[in-house]
Amino acid sequence: MTESKFIFVGSKKKCDFVRPAENALGKMKLELLVWDKKAGFESLYHNLEQYLPSKDKALGVLQKEYDSHSSKLVDTFKVSLGERKTVDITGGLSLCLSVKGSDEMGTLQKSAVLTNKVLKRFFVSAFCHFLY
């Protein structure tokens, strides 16, 4: 996932399953990268590298699936990433993809503003006093 689009890597069958979501994401764009078992993984990873962040930035993954799933595709992907740091995006992704009413959107926006103000005005200064 980048700032402007979701990148989904999968077989033709899985991409066909996800394809209806292409128009349902609003401002975000869904890009499907289909890999062909006969062609191998090299061409897929060559296409995927243009979307990956630099080595010093973390890569967002569905951590449970990333850690537990083992297949030729996933294992080759892990090897190609090397020691790159990964971050679990499951919670944020589920929040982004869930359907929200206007009341819920308002509540989310107000809670984000309130959390920001509490952290800036109270928590930081209280934590600094604790440290020093």
Please identify every stretch of the chain with a pLDDT value under 50, giving residue numbers as ranges. none
Q: What is the pLDDT of residue 46?
A: 66
Q: What is the pLDDT of residue 36?
A: 73
pTM, to two decimals: 0.50
Q: What is the pLDDT of residue 113?
A: 93
Tell me the C-alpha distance between 101 and 27, whole Å: 17
Q: Residue 6: beta bridge partners? A: 30
Q: What is the pLDDT of residue 132?
A: 66
Q: What is the pLDDT of residue 110?
A: 93
Q: What is the pLDDT of residue 111?
A: 92
